[in-house]
Structure 1
Amino acid sequence: MKQNLFIKIFLCGLLLNGIYTNAQKTNLEVNVSKSITKIQPTMYGVFFEDINFAADGGLYAEMIKNRSFEFELPFLGWKEPNSDRHKLNTESGIAKIIQYSQKETNHNYCRITVNNANGYELINEGFRGMGIKKNLHYNLSLKAAKESGTISKIKIQFIGKDNNVLGETSITPTSNDWTNYTAQLTATATEAKAKIKITFEGTGVIKLDMISLFPEDTWKGRKNGLRADLVQLLYDLKPGFLRFPGGCIVEGKTLAERYQWKKSIGNVEERETMINRWNIELSHRQAPDYFQSFGLGFFEYFQLSEDIGASPMPILSCGMACQFNTGELVPMDQLDPYVQDALDLIEFANGDLNTVWGKVRNEMGHPKPFNLKFIGVGNEQWGPDYIDRFKVFQKAIKEKYPNITIVSGTGPSPDGDYFDYGMTELKKLNVEILDEHYYKDPAWFRKNVTRYDNYDRKGPKVFAGEYAAQSVATVSPDNKNNWECAFSEAAFITGMERNAEVVHLTSYAPLLAHVDAWQWTPDLIWFNNLESYGTPNYYVQKLFSNNKGTDLISITKDGKAITGQNDLFASAVKDMNSKEVILKIVNAASSAQNVSIDLKGAKLNPNGTALILKGDGLNDENSFVSATKISPKESEFKLNGSKIQFSFPAYSVTVLKIKMK
């Protein structure tokens, strides 16, 4: 009995000694009094690209697919299940797409012959269906012109998967000339995969075009605006900038398919519909019905930036198509129109009302400038052809707009020959900001947390423009937004934040993905036609962005930065506006770690707030069923004078906030 008691006491002693020894190894020091550098307001932002149905079918709240019959197959998205086209010996009716112009942007309309009002139906399938919510209102508009006959009413209905009616309205066409009509539907049930059915009273021939449907509940209640829940998720990130419109969308597979901002502004009806480069780009997730209506165009991007408090960062073509596709080049002596597009865009954003493009902005409803500060030249081009073209853009922009900061690219990878060449040549040009991209496995992010420790402090600043940990492999359809990827990104972010003197902007990519229409994984935010949720990666971004602070301060162990010793990663800031010290600690170990933190150089409140983000395992994820399963949990902790004793859970990201007196 005594022997057993002695053994127990001996073992307890060993355990306590082990804890004590471990605590000695994890003594951290924070120097609150000395600011190392300022944290840029743009440190954490968002990058938008129209991939994964992020624009049409996503952020842009239009519910009708191919609303003006301008797709490559002009009837794509529409069906006439009981028309003469499908049933022999019937006289219900038929639709025909008429091309009335090859010069203008809206080339087609739909000419409908109704022979039997009780038999003919026109149905739109929406973007993988239409999400409608019970008792909410939906605003319909269309253009119609009566050609002949007695058609007296056009009936529009929501229908469910069993063709049951879930809401109804109608319009009365009165004119033989093209006329705009509006009506409103109220949903009588909630349905994620609804469709719109159009039927007719009377018979005859009628022309239809620009059939459009938007929820009344859009962001800020704007007519024909953006999907409120998705913008809310962006707003909650408190982003410092919004990079748009891509991504590879900027480049196009060919130069003809590049994004041309001037075609994306003005009257929505006059914006040219174009195929989306991601429609059949990836063999594992082809979407031949993926087009761009440009209802979400450059004006809307600038407006969105303003709405969410972000600095706009447009990226423009540099005269090179995607080098993973054709790599088509504009000859150097034909580059002027591309450069002029960049100069005109700056004028559109910032010009006064007497300028050509400032006047256009005013006519679109925004007399005040958008305060554009950044512009990107090219997406992720590489090689001598890019350098030659960048020089032309740089010279022209700086001569006319010396205060605009130009973002230059270093190619698609964070290392290798293309990257090294780009870095060397761009430094010679004294570029201001280098855009670096990295899609790597989680271990790479943890191993490369010191990436910027030795960057030239007098050289170009860094924009980590696209990054995301890949759980399987880059471009794999099996990548997951799992917890290991998220906390590995958090570890890497502490390294970027510790080097805020060099790293001025960062953004995860891609941003949005429709659960039924994605091409690329992983993604920051997932949505269906009714709901959306932030991934664990989203909450990592939110934790850092919402707590970025104003000044970088040091957090060290034995005088060295915390860069993975004992699987701990850390950065620290203070916020001179909220008078807080903010510590970010990532524990990448499989067990909890007890850490002692000594905060020197400031008088602190005796209580602090802890925000802890953790999953149940490395492969843990959020979902529509458990949207906030991995999300920050808040608690309080006490200080002992200037010291904090804290147990950081296994595989966790923790933010500690302490008020300064």
Structure 2
Amino acid sequence: MRILPPDHWQGREADHPPRMIRLNESRNMMKPVSISVADDAAGTPINPNRWGIFLEDISMSIDGGLNSDLVRNGAFEFSAADSPRWSWRTGWRFLHRGDSGFLDATVDVEDPVARQNPHYLSVRVTGGTTSAENEGYDGMPFDACKDYEFTAWVRARYVEAGEPAEDMPQSVRLSVQLTDGADAVLAQRVLDVPLGRGWVKVERTLTSGRTCDRGALRLVVNDDHAWPCASRHVIVDVDWVGLRSAEHAAKLPMFRKDLVDALRRLHPAFLRFPGGCIAHGYAGLDSIYQWKTTIGPVEHRRQMPTGRGTHQSMAIGMHEYLLLCEAIGAQPVPVLAAGVSCQFAFEGATPIPIDRMDQYIQDVLDFIEYANGDVDSVWGGRRAANGHPQPFNLRYLGLGNEDAISDVFEDRFSRIHHAVHDAYPDIQVIGTLGPFMEGDDHERGLRLARRLNLSIVDEHGYRSPQWLLSHLDHFDHVDRNGARIYFGEYSARSNALDGALAEAAFMASMERNGDAVAMASYAPLLAREGHEQWKPNLIYFNARTVHETPNYWVQSMFGEHRTDTALPTCVSGVSGMRRAFPVRIGLRATAERADFSVSDVVVTDRDCDDANEPQRIRLNDVTVRDGESERFPLALDASSYDIDMTFERTDGEGGLAVSFGDIEAGEYGEWFVDSWQNLYTGFRRVGGGIPDEPLPPVGGGIVDGKRYRLHIEVRGSDGTVRAFLDGRLLQEYRDDGVERHVVAQATADSATGRISVKVINVTEDTLDANIRFSSRGERFGAIAARALAGAEGPAPMQLRERPLEHVTVPPKSLVEVLIERA
């Protein structure tokens, strides 16, 4: 065998030239670890296309992100339905200058460009100049000598009291300017908008005179005419204003190039879209994603609220999504609603009425035809008319997202599934297991999958690093005779390196269980800095810069080399650490969107010698105001204890959270009541300051003015926590997992014989890893290695003379050893 030089990895990521990791530490200072790989065993077949990405329109990931349009609200369709303080003016600033006239700018809907989006800006020419300025998303970035492509629909019309005069001017002047966000003009083009000729689409290129980070687009209506009749006035209408950099991703003019490049560097095998809750209507039944309204001319795509305080322009619809998949080499995994809206919407889960189901099912079938049909079919012809005659080779279709698996859901899902299976038997329908990694919805989803013979079901889980490291056996228990898991949304809820390494360890466990786990995708993918609606995210960006996280580089390393066999891999020389509920006891009550009175608080120490005489500590009564926390004066160490208190909501509509454990260290449990619009009550564990996703919550909220008695039992002997409300057991939680801080997994490509060995070290120790192969490496050729030890990305490693006997694994790192067959 031969050791490849470190520059073997050079050029793999041209935008991120790797650093060198030099290993000067003496082996005497390292911790020895043995890793055994059975490379001559048959191994477990795994999906080579298992690692993908998930794109959902939250945190300005699409409009203000992937969508390269710099204009915000260019169609004047924003409204209070998006966010309470929004209107058609959002994103725009209006100004009138001159000695005559006044500002008269409003929105109109009469005779629009497109009835689907009827609002447009209407400016009355009254004298002087009227300007409308748009700063986009936190200011528009302009570069000196670079071109920007402006588009808009414009119309000039006159309103008069009598017959038009012969000397009536034939046009109105509209100036298009790039500015520095103040008064300096960086570029300008002047348009003469013809009077009385209806809507006209205009396209102009502007070249910026200098670089600016917080620029703006300004439209100026100039009144250069002395109108012949005072009773006559002119109106200039403007709609669908857009501005894009002329530098864009190849064949993807609507996408921001640097973000597409960042997605490509993840080496995704597939891309899931559009949701997420957006797919099945976070704002109710009327907001279910309707793919047919997202294709064709953008003016005719119905814009919609997301239900999360943002707006969907639909500039990137289903067709653009399929183009993006093609451009980055990812298989499309679209998700459509299963005939029921999101249960977290205000009105709860609402099914599509039976008399509308046939049409909805036909819409689903038409989408498959749009993606795969030949040009002679109705929807394949529409695809060709939209510029893509070749099929997109769709193989997967997700139905539903984190749905409550009710009887009506099973009915709607089954109807759609049967129709898809009958018409397109080669399409793999992906089911859903509800919003949690366990619980009633999860079990009902599995039963439904067995009944319908589904091959893949979608499971989601957002857990802390501690949880992931202590549940590396989670997928060991999946029924191998049932559907395989698509782990469609997951994260360690942290962008710190520890969180990324916990994700890597969990991903290694998914590879080990590749016969049970078919696919996985981290979530969320993208977030614009300052507009995060969810944290953490894989990629953060602003107007100019893309910031990759350690989590990003973990995904990239796992995705780069596609292998199809998981080899039996064993780590020895390290031990696990049992998770234990903290013995230091603090107590805190936090209110959100409500006020609460908390009284009769008693903490009972069950660790005392005389079990019949437990120590009881009575604490003071408190009032907890909206948005505030109250700490109880408690200093106690105990592994087993009870907490009792009475609480009452005195004002507001929100909930109460009771935290107990070592709060200062970020290691505690939290019981919450009246969450999700007074729908749920539940428990979650917080580790390292990072909250786990709560246990599957219990349905039902609380009633104003009623006093409730809460009883919590913590038993450190078996890591059990129980919560009771008015004597009724609500939930039971067991915290007895063993964290594994050194994990390894080897996979192989059967076609080339290449072997990838990944070693995840979450400890503070440098490891001296001896990788032993059952074949003794007799047919090994070149060997190379790289390590991820921070946010800068993986770096090549300098290997020693006997590289497999002494692989140095730095503290808190992910190391990959790549072995080529001779």
Q: Could you state the TM-score of these two structures normalised by the residue count of structure 1? A: 0.86
Note the C-alpha offset of 1:638. 4.0
Structure 1 pair 17/363, CA: closer, same or farther in 2 (3 Å)? closer
Richer in helix (by share): 1
Matched residue type, 2:39: V
Q: Deviations over 1:448-495 (max 9, x none)?
A: 111112322221011010001124xxxxxxxxx111111110110000
After superposition, residues 203-218 of structure 1 pair within 5 angstroms as: 203=225, 204-218=234-248
| Partner Cα separation in structure 1 for residue 558 and residue 363 of structure 2 | 35
Please give the secondary structure, in 1, of the residue aligned with 2:487: strand
Compute the displacement of 1:205 (Å): 2.7
- 1:504 paired to 2:518: yes
Q: Is contact 2:351-2:409 (8 Å) kept?
A: no
The residue number in structure 2 matching 1:129 is 139
Deviations 1:137-184 (A, max 9, x none): 110111222224645432111222433223222323235322121111
* Counterpart residue number, 1:153: 173
Task: State the shift of 1:435 in Å.
Answer: 0.4
| Offset, 1:429 | 2.5
CA distance in 2, matches of 1:558, 1:152: 80
Structure 2 gaps, min length 5 = 1-25, 80-86, 159-167, 226-233, 578-737
Residue number in structure 2 paired with 1:307: 327
- Residue 571, structure 1, aligned to residue 745, structure 2: yes
How far apart in 2 are the matches of 1:292 and 1:61? Answer: 14
Amino acid in the other structure paired with 1:349: A
* C-alpha deviation, 1:83, in angstroms: 7.0
Report Cα offsets for 1:532-570 as digits up to 9, x if no partner: 121110000000001232322222246999998862111
Deviations 1:213-258 (A, max 9, x none): 11111110544x1000001111111111110011111111211011
Give the CA deviation at 1:362: 0.7
1:271 alignment partner AA: R
How far has the Cα of 1:522 moved from its partner? 0.6
Q: Which residue of 1 aligns with 2:37?
A: 30
Distance 1:192 1:19, change over 3 A: closer
Match for residue 633 of structure 1 among 765, 775, 795: 795
Counterpart amino acid of residue 437 in structure 1: H
1:403-458: per-residue Cα shift (whole Å, max 9, x none)? 10000000111112222232233223321111010011111111111111232222
Equivalent in the alignment of 2:296: 266
Residue 184 (str. 1) matches residue 183 (str. 2): no
The corresponding residue for 2:565 is 551
* Contact preservation (8 Å) 1:60, 1:296: yes
Matches within 5 A, 1:465-544: 465-471=488-494, 481-544=495-558
Q: How does 1:127-526 map to 2 (within 5 A)?
A: 127-148=137-158, 150=169, 151-174=171-194, 176-177=196-197, 178-201=199-222, 202-203=224-225, 204-220=234-250, 222-223=252-253, 225-252=254-281, 253-279=283-309, 290-325=310-345, 326=347, 327-384=349-406, 385-471=408-494, 481-526=495-540
Counterpart of 2:137, as a letter, is: F
Moved over 3 A (4+): 16-20, 148-152, 331-334, 557-566, 576-579, 602-607, 638-641
Do the aligned residues in 2 keep the contact of 1:562 with 1:571 (CA within 8 Å)? Answer: no
Which residue pairs with 2:163 in the alignment?
Answer: none
**Cα distance change, pair 500–131 in 1 and its aligned pair in 2 (3 A):** same
Amino acid at match of 1:370: F
Amino acid paired to 1:400 = A
Equivalent residue for 1:91, pick from 89, 93, 101: 101
Contact 1:382 1:418 in 2 (8 A): yes
1:6 aligns with none
CA shift digits 1:23-51 (9 cap, x unpaired)? 3xx22211223342333232000100000
Q: SS of the residue aligned with 1:335? A: helix
Deviation at 1:90, TM superposition (A): 5.7
- Bigger drift between 298-307 and 379-388 goes to 379-388
The corresponding residue for 2:48 is 41
Mapped partners of 1:320, 1:639: distance in 2: 61
Please say if 1:611 is aligned against 2:611: no
Whole-angstrom distance in 2 between the partners of 1:214 and 1:238: 27
More displaced, 60-69 or 234-243? 60-69
Q: Which of 813, 816, 819 is residue 652 of structure 1 equivalent to?
A: 813
SS in 1 for 2:156: strand
- Change over 3 Å in CA distance of 1:635–1:577 after alignment to 2: farther
Cross-structure match for 1:120: 130
* Match among 739, 758, 775 for residue 584 of structure 1: 758
Q: For residues 275 and 599 of structure 1, do their structure 2 counterparts lie closer, same or farther at Cα, with a shift above 3 Å needed?
A: same
> How far apart in 2 are the matches of 1:106 and 1:383?
35
**In 1, Cα distance between equivalents of 2:740 and 2:322:** 45
Q: Distance in 1 between matches of 2:305 and 2:366?
A: 25
Decide whether the 8 Å contact of 1:610 with 1:656 is kept in 2: yes
CA gap 1:97/1:17 in 2 versus in 1, 3 angstroms? closer
Q: Against the structure 1 CA distance between its residues 276 and 191, is the aligned structure 2 distance closer, same or farther, given a 3 Å change threshold?
A: farther
CA distance in 1, matches of 2:575, 2:316: 44
Task: Give SS of 1:501's match.
Answer: coil
1:346-397 deviation digits (Å, cap 9, x = unpaired) = 0110111121111110100111111000001111102223222211111111
> Contact 1:382 / 1:411 at 8 angstroms: preserved in 2?
yes
Question: What is the CA–CA distance in structure 1 between the aligned matches of 2:28 and 2:132, rounded to whole Å?
Answer: 74
Partner Cα distance (1:195, 1:213) in 2: 10
Task: Using the TM superposition, give the Cα deviation of residue 295 of structure 1 relative to its aligned residue in structure 2, in angstroms.
Answer: 0.7
Query: Does the aligned pair in 2 maintain the 1:638–1:644 contact within 8 Å?
Result: no
Residues 1:19 and 1:186: Cα distance change in structure 2 (over 3 Å): closer
The one-letter code sitting in structure 2 at the alignment partner of 1:68 is: A
Alpha-carbon shift at residue 605 of structure 1 (Å): 4.8
Q: Which has the higher strand share?
A: 2
Q: How many residues align?
A: 604
Q: Which region of structure 1 is more displaced relative to structure 2, 560-569 or 404-413? A: 560-569
Any gaps of 5 or more consecutive residues in structure 1? 1-15, 280-289, 472-480, 616-628
Report deviation, 1:528: 0.6
Q: Name the counterpart of 1:287.
A: none
The answer on whether the counterparts of 2:784 and 2:817 sit within 8 Å (CA) in structure 1 is: yes
**Paired residue for 1:598, among 772, 781, 790?**
772
- Structure 1 stretch displaced more, 304-313 or 197-206: 197-206
